[in-house]
Amino acid sequence: MLKLRVIPCLDVKDGRVVKGVNFTSLRDAGDPVEQAALYDQAGADELTFLDITASSDNRDTILDVVHRTAQNVFLPLTVGGGIRTVQDMRRLLLAGADKCSINSAAISRPELISEAAEKFGSQCVVVAIDARQTGPGHWEVFSHGGRKPTGIDVLQWAKKVESLGAGELLLTSMDRDGTGEGFDLGLLKSVCNAIRLPVVASGGVGELQHFVEGAEAGATGLLAASIFHFGKFTIGEVKQALAAAGLPVRPLVQDKI
């Protein structure tokens, strides 16, 4: 049986891990390569790096982080943040990334999704959607790290992204991100019902029960950052909670090579 994926996300700035509340007030939580290796041993099912480096001078720091991580970590590795072109994606894939997550660039030029899917295959192309609720049963897509409203309806965009050839959706609730109040389940259910792509839920996890709720809402991947970095829960505790709720998880005890 296919297992749920528990995915720690490392926010990386200038080659260092940071994660804050609502995308501001960043705190330093260490070296990304070292953290990735720890998550690998702790039973993570995939890893995600979100590069939030602002200066274009430092954009290549992520390539080095990815390269060094891929030397010893044999888990699927997704990288997002600042990806504008197919060429950017190719450099990340060559450095050792398996999937590239695109957001603002796909909003301003949706053809990027189909170009990337044709060049690298759909499985490499994750589209990240930052959503904010604008009314009952209505969510709007925000770009540029969740700061800029686009006027685009989330469900319409999710369907379009699927038709353009994306392989996966990373859905973040900007209303919930960093709050610890749990996923926006209304958003998650609506999107999971609208498309057949795998959906990774993100934004708002604060308790173990939140992972269970996300999976029951239809997400097949569950992403979190702060609760792992600051040691509130381990990956093992998350998997135990999911298993206790009768949900399929990959067991922690892994064979040695």
Q: Which stretch binds other proteins (CB under 8 A): 8-16, 80-88, 128-136, 246-254?
A: 246-254
Of the candidates 48, 42, 45, the residue with the CA atom closest to the CA atom of residue 2: 45
117, 161 in Cβ contact below 8 A? no
Considering the candidates 11, 40, 45, 184, report the single residue annotated as catalytic. Answer: 11
Distance from C-alpha of 154 to C-alpha of 140, rounded to nearest angstrom:
5
Per CB under 8 A, 57 contacts other proteins: no
13, 29 in Cβ contact below 8 A? no
Q: Which stretch binds other proteins (CB under 8 A): 3-11, 105-113, 127-135, 201-209?
A: 3-11
Mask of contacts with other proteins, 121-160, x by CB under 8 A? xxxx------------------------------------
Question: At 229, which helix (H) or strand (E)?
Answer: helix 226-229
**Contact pick of 17, 39, 40, 130 for other proteins (by CB under 8 A):** 40
Distance from C-alpha of 140 to C-alpha of 32, rounded to nearest angstrom:
32
Distance from C-alpha of 9 to C-alpha of 202, rounded to nearest angstrom:
9
Annotation marks residue 130 as catalytic: yes
Per CB under 8 A, 70 contacts other proteins: yes
Tokens matching residue 21: 């509340």
Considering the candidates 40, 130, 177, 184, report the single residue annotated as catalytic. Answer: 130
Residue written as token pair 């690298």: 120
Distance from C-alpha of 207 to C-alpha of 21, rounded to nearest angstrom:
16
Distance from C-alpha of 223 to C-alpha of 228, rounded to nearest angstrom:
10
Count residues binding other proteins (CB under 8 A).
40
Q: Which stretch binds other proteins (CB under 8 A): 78-86, 148-156, 191-199, 227-235?
A: 191-199
Per CB under 8 A, 49 contacts other proteins: no
Per CB under 8 A, 96 contacts other proteins: yes
Closest distance to other proteins from the beta carbon of 18 (Å): 26
The neighbouring-strand residues paired with 101 are 80, 126
Which residue ranges make up the site for other proteins (CB under 8 A)? 1-5, 40, 45, 67, 70-72, 74-76, 93-98, 118-124, 167-168, 196-198, 220-221, 250-251, 254-257
Residues marked as catalytic: 11, 130
